[in-house]
Each structure stands twice: as C-alpha cells, then as structure tokens.
Amino acid sequence: MTTVVLVQQGGTGANSAAAARAALSVPSSSDVVSKTGDTMTGELTVSVASSANAVRITQTGSGNALVVEDSANPDASPFIIDAGGQLIQGYTTAINNWNLAPDTFALHSSSSNARPSTGLYNWSTNTARVGTFAMYKSISGNVGSYSALAALGQQFGRIAFCGDDGTSFIRGAEIIAYVDGTVGANSMPGKLDFRTTAAGASSPTQRMVIDANGNIGIGISSPTANLHLIGSANVTGNAIFSGGNLFVDAVGNNVGIGTTSPTANLHVTGTIKDTPIVSITGNQTYADNAAGRVIFSNTTSAVTVTIAAAATAGFSYTVIRGNTGNVTIANSGVTRLNSASITTMNLNQYGAATVVYTATNQVIVFGDFVA
C-alpha cells in the first residue's frame, strides 16, 4: 500500500484529516502521516510537475533540518543537514576546530577506521569532460553577484592538510592560490604557493612557488627565471642543461660543455672566450693563476711582479712594461734555471718577459731586461 503525506496548504486543500482522506480515497487514518510527531514506515515518493519546490524543510529551531540514518537509531554516522545549512556525513555535528579560523565548512565528511574519500566519476565519449574539483572566489558580498579580485597577492583558493596534535587539528602543509598580476576580462593571473610546517613550528612556511609566468622559485617568493633556487641543490644522477650544452656526469664527476660524454674534469667542445690581458697598476704576485695571460703595466709608477711557487708545471705567462713606470721581476719560492744568481730583473720600457714553469717550483725567465 502506498503511504500518503497529508499537507494542509498547497496539497488537497483539505483542512482536516477526515476531509483529506475523503479527497484522496484513503481508507483509514493509519495510512496518513500527520504534520507533527509521526513516524512513517515504508517508501515515500514525491512526484510533482511544478515550478515550486518539490520538498521544502524549514527549521526554525536549533535542531538539524534533516537527518538520514541507517538501520541504527540513533545512528553515530548519519547524513545531516544542520540548521546552518552545513552538510555533515559520518558524524552527528560539524567539526570546525581546523586551525583555519574564521573558516567554517559547508561540507563535512568523517569516518572511523575508514577513508572519508570523495570520488568524481565521469562516463562520456567527449574526452574534454572529466571529473573536476573547482574553487571559486569573488570579493562580492552577495551570492550570485560578481566583483573582480583586484589586489595583487589576494588569495582565491587553498588546500589545507591538517593533523591531530592531541587537542585540535593543526596545519602541516597547504597549497594556496594567489592573484599574481592585473586581473582583467577573461584573465586571472595566478601563483601557486606550496607550504610545509617545520618541526616545532605552529604554521606552514613557504617552500616553493610557481608564478604567473611559469617560473619556479625554491627559497624565493618572486622567481625571475624558469627555475630560481636560493640555497643548495643535491643532484643524484646526471644533470643535463639546455639540451646537453652543459652536462654533469654523476659517475666520473666530469663536466661537459657542448658534449654529453666528458672525458676530463672539464671537457669543452667549441671555443673558449677568455680575458687574457690583465692590466695592473701596483705590485702583484702570480703563479698558475696567471697561466696563459698577459700581465700589462701601463702606469708611470714602479711595480713589482713576483714569481710565486706553483705545485704544477707546463704553463707560462708574459709581463709587459707599457709605460715609464719601472717593472721589476722578482721571485719567491721558485728556482730560476737561468740567471739563478739574480733575484730581481728590471724590464726595459716597452719590454716584455715570459715566465715558463718547467717543473714544480722551477721556472725559466727570458725577456728584454735592463742590462
């Protein structure tokens, strides 16, 4: 037998149970649910063809507007719509101690020893139609009206991950979406901010950002390159930059420029641009730090260039006197294989001297010296 709900206004128009039964041909009062305090067993079907609400529940008290239970009564994990409009699944009341004040949540899902998961399913031959989770933000104070976000850095979405510290739920990590540019028609430039909470801290700290230009920043909030890193980086495995133009071999610890198969600590395929001429105006000491260079003195003041000891050999450099200032060639910690008894020599004006390291701490010096 179909159970019938008697509604005094907008239903049969009857103003009594007897009149309603007569109008609906209900045989007895046992098949009628009155408007207050009754419990119905069996199915309830509501079928209307109207622009008005099919079912309307108005809660003017402090209780829930709707409770759906399973076979247990009372059910410890029901489906509830409370007086504030919050939808609660799996618990009897809303939980708002999420360390995200003043936020409250429209949807609560709780479980005991199970996963409170949400699944988005889509069956469609249209490949563009997929399950979508979207968050929307307007600075309008009225639902359904629009007012554009304007402030740079204004949040318009957040995902928070909270854990129980024994008293309440505390954020351990979060992802925040910010405005990252000028908002215009059909344009919402955004930045994603990834945060984690350090041990002993009470709130998350920014760790990485992706800005509106696609730049990734680690340790910096305003990256200026595709990858902008402040701090150290530990790479396990080979590192290839710019399609192989720079290659770091994790096995041999060799660096290749223009090659992905370096056979030396530094292996360059191509040309090397250097600055071989070093201008000096005062006393200097050189060893292998001047290898392949020209030391040029273009000053009217006297300078001394000291040949220093070096643990390596097979390199040379040249010293030129290009002005009236005297240039003295001295040595410290090295043995001159020629002119060993002379500790200092002076270059003629516009003269040059070449220093060749033939072995460890051994040099040959030859050039245009003052007699």
pLDDT in tens, 266-298: 888 877 767 688 999 999 999 988 988 999 999
Does the pLDDT of residue 1 top 50, yes or no?
A: no
Q: How confident is the model at residue 312 (pLDDT cuts 50, 70, 90)?
A: confident
* CA–centroid distance for 138 within its chain: 24
Does the pLDDT of residue 351 top 60, yes or no?
A: yes
Q: Taking a C-beta distance cutoff of 8 angstroms, is the pair 256, 246 a contact?
A: yes
Average pLDDT over residues 247-252: 82
pTM: 0.56
pLDDT, tens only, 74-87? 777 677 777 777 77
* Nearest in space to 34 (alpha carbons), one of 20, 46, 48, 23: 20
Does the pLDDT of residue 371 top 90, yes or no?
A: no
pLDDT higher for 222 or 7? 222
Q: Taking a C-beta distance cutoff of 8 angstroms, is the pair 131, 122 a contact?
A: yes
Beta bridge partners of 196: 173, 205
Q: How confident is the model at residue 303 (pLDDT cuts 50, 70, 90)?
A: very high
Q: How confident is the model at residue 54 (pLDDT cuts 50, 70, 90)?
A: confident
pLDDT for position 2: 47
SS3 letters across 140-155: CCCCCCCCCCCCCCCE
- Residue 307, Cβ neighbours under 10 Å: how many? 24
Does the pLDDT of residue 183 top 90, yes or no?
A: yes
d(CA 66, CA 324): 101
d(CA 223, CA 217): 5
Average pLDDT over residues 344-350: 92
The overall average pLDDT reported for the chain is 83
Tokens of 355: 């220093």
pLDDT, tens only, 187-208? 999 999 999 999 999 899 999 9
Does the pLDDT of residue 14 top 70, yes or no?
A: no
d(CA 278, CA 297): 9
Q: Taking a C-beta distance cutoff of 8 angstroms, is the pair 156, 179 a contact?
A: yes
Q: Compute the residue count for the chain.
A: 371
